Amino acid sequence: MKKGLWLIIFVITLNSVRAEEAADTISVATAIDTTTFVYGNVMYENNSYATAIRVYQNLIDQNGPSDEIYYNLGNCYYKTNEIGKAILNYERALYLNPGNEDAAYNLELSYRRIRDEIDPIPQSIFAVWWSDFIHIFTAHAWSFLAITFVWIALLGFALYRINRFKNYQRPGFFVFVFGLFFGLICLIGAVGRNTYDRDYQFAIVMTPSAILKSEPSENSTNLFLLHEGLKLKLLSSDNNWSEVKIPNGDIGWIKSEEITAVDPFTHGKK
């Protein structure tokens, strides 16, 4: 009788353990979703870069561009030695978030691995300062600050001009000048950043090699032999050709299929 009782207890305990293990398995399977950012990170940490790339790209296709995901994509492509795609995704991460220091650092490492060594046109100190200034905020944030300071200036002007507030005329005047001054600065920042964003049309060479032509024609003169990963400024397009400027300032034409726009919102570019 005792043996039978112990046997029953053993069977019940064994089934309970199996049920708990099955519940844990279901819980883990539910937690790991192949469409989540966390799963992509897990695949990256396990060196499953191809799977991580599919997960990250799927997230972008579903939810739209993200600097964090583009940064991770860049890391995956860097690990698989696809430097052109790594550079493209680091550039896109910085396009969305210029303050992403990790993307900027890895982008510099990636550029060291490309074959083209074309000296860029040196920028003046003012150009560097201006670029740093307008990138403090987005165009939207600059505009919001400009409007806020204008309202502050109007409040100060009211305190200065309305007789019932004559005891506050002096501070009102300073508030007016303060709001007007900083409102003007923010307006300049908004215009400058908006102009920069509008003119920021760059592309990355995505093929192992590409020929820069003097005209949008196969029969035109060859100007330069370009290689994967080089960043070009987009100027215009003509059918299947794109007019570009290379870092040293020279201008020519390249087949549109050989480049991909940095701007992730550009139609037809992934």
Fold of 37-111: 1.25.40
Look up residue 56 and give its amino acid. Answer: Y
Looking from the CA of 167 toward its CB, the CA atoms found within 13 Å total 1
| Residue spans of alpha helices (H) in 80-225 | 83-96, 101-111, 125-134, 139-161, 169-199
Closest CA to 262 of 227, 230, 216, 225: 230
User: Which pLDDT score is estimated for 13?
Assistant: 46
Q: Give mean pLDDT, residues 100-115.
A: 91
pLDDT at 136 over 90: no
Residue 249's pLDDT band, with cuts at 50, 70 and 90, is confident
Alpha-carbon gap, residue 61 to 232, rounded angstroms: 25
Name, in order, each residue with C-beta under 8 angstroms of 153's C-beta and a sequence gap of 6 or more: 175, 176, 177, 178, 179, 180, 183
For residue 114, CA distances in Å to 28, 74, 78, 79 come to 42, 15, 12, 15
Parse the chain into domains and list their residue ranges: 37-111, 125-199, 202-261
Cβ-contact 97, 67 below 8 angstroms = yes
For residue 90, CA distances in Å to 36, 108, 265, 267 come to 21, 10, 15, 19
Please tell me whether residue 262 adopts helix, strand or coil conformation: coil
Q: DSSP string of 42-79? A: HHHHTT-HHHHHHHHHHHHHHH---HHHHHHHHHHHHH
Tell me the pLDDT tens digit for each residue of 48-78.
999 999 999 999 999 999 999 999 999 999 9
What dotted CATH number matches 202-261? 2.30.30.40
Report pTM. Answer: 0.69
Tell me the pLDDT tens digit for each residue of 2-32.
444 444 444 444 444 444 444 443 333 334 4
Q: Using CA atoms in the order 47, 51, 55, 60, what is the torsion angle rounded to 10 degrees?
A: 90
Tell me the pLDDT tens digit for each residue of 178-202.
999 999 999 999 999 988 887 778 9
Asked whether this chain's domains 37-111 and 202-261 adopt the same fold, the reply is no
Give per-residue burial for 186-205: e unless 16+ CB within 10 Å, then b.
bbebbebbbeeeeeebbbbb
Q: Give mean pLDDT, residues 116-125.
A: 73
